Amino acid sequence: MRYLLILSLFFSLSHLLAQAQNPTSAREYSQRGIARFQANDLDGAIADFTKVIELNGESLEFCYYFRGLANYRKGNPEQAIADLGKAIAIKADPRFYDDRGNLLARQGDFDHALADLNKAIELAPQNAKTYGDRGLVELMRGDEKNAEADFKHCFSLDPTLETQFNAAANKIKLRQVSDHEGPKPADVSVLKFSWAETPSKVLIAQSSAVPVNAAPVSATGTRVLGDPNAKNPSGPAEIMDPSGTSLPPSKNSNPSTKDIIDYKFSAAIKNTGSKTILVVKWAYYFDPKDLAHERLAYLFVTKVEIKPGKEKTLNDVVTPNGHTKLPSKFNHALYTERVAILRLDYSDGSFWDGSR
């Protein structure tokens, strides 16, 4: 995590591990505060960093910074933003600006968030992650052009960040679609729709590296996410089945493949208009019947020629990659399923967009 880099500037590893039981100096409170923060003892960490500040100890900017992170983890974003502001007042560190910008964005203050991220980039123009963070904020504001430019620059500086930020960007896009679902198109009728679990095999790379924060990818190449509000777990991703338990080991003796479950979605539609349809953007929704479950949504883009008066079936496949909430044949009764048409592109160059 990013704060580990800051830890190396704050204290040596030996100091971090030397947790004082009865601290008497500001330095000992700092050491115990970091140890408590690492152990997720947030109240203890906040108390220790506050004591260091009262004693006017060394490296107070990092005490404010880590106290701010602890406050954010505790669900006190306003106090967290205030603490990061105090850290910035002591030292204009680009990481402080980056993190405060992210916190401000989570609070919906996009203008000040962009100001902080712009300052972070000004101070550290080679930090790839900040460009990705700014791209996410621009996407939240609806500025897709600048967002894509920032993502492109981010990935050129550090290609390993592409999966992480593509997944985060897809969460934002899917949430926007869910929150601002527009009117239905007048010239398309959804006749029927369905989905099914299908056993499949996936190739396994020989490297021992495991991707983290990966989003599933549909057959069209569109990244999809089953739960726009789900938080990514901390730790390696693994293939999960719909019931939430790990899939059993493959009986295939070939070490280069693994048994998985693909999710095949389909929707039969009819072109009731006068123009030929070439591209359909559509979403498959699972609306919960109670408050105990969250909506599941899958976003697809399908290229298909549908002439006036004709019917076609849209098909796409989602292959899970990571901890992703997916439907299960065992929980049909928990959700009401539906399909929404979000955009249509016609052969004459015109389009209908109900997601704006």
pLDDT tens digits, one per residue of 151-202: 999 999 999 999 889 888 877 877 776 655 567 888 899 999 999 888 866 5
pLDDT of residue 121: 97
290 token code pair: 């109670």
CA–CA distances in Å: residue 226 to residues 183, 247, 317, 338: 23, 18, 13, 14
Q: Which domains does the chain have, with CATH numbers?
A: 2-175 (1.25.40.10), 183-353 (no CATH)
* 107-158 per-position pLDDT tens digit: 889 999 999 999 999 999 999 999 999 999 999 988 989 999 999 999 999 9
CA-nearest of 77, 71, 128 to 102 is 77
Residues in the chain predicted with pLDDT less than 70, given as ranges, are 1-21, 177-182, 200-258, 291-292, 320-325, 355-356
DSSP 92-154: --HHHHHHHHHHHHHTT-HHHHHHHHHHHHHH-TT-HHHHHHHHHHHHHTT-HHHHHHHHHHH
Tell me what pLDDT residue 19 has: 45
pTM: 0.56
pLDDT of residue 198: 82
Q: How far apart are CA 216 and CA 203, in angstroms?
A: 15
Tell me, what's the pLDDT at 191? 95
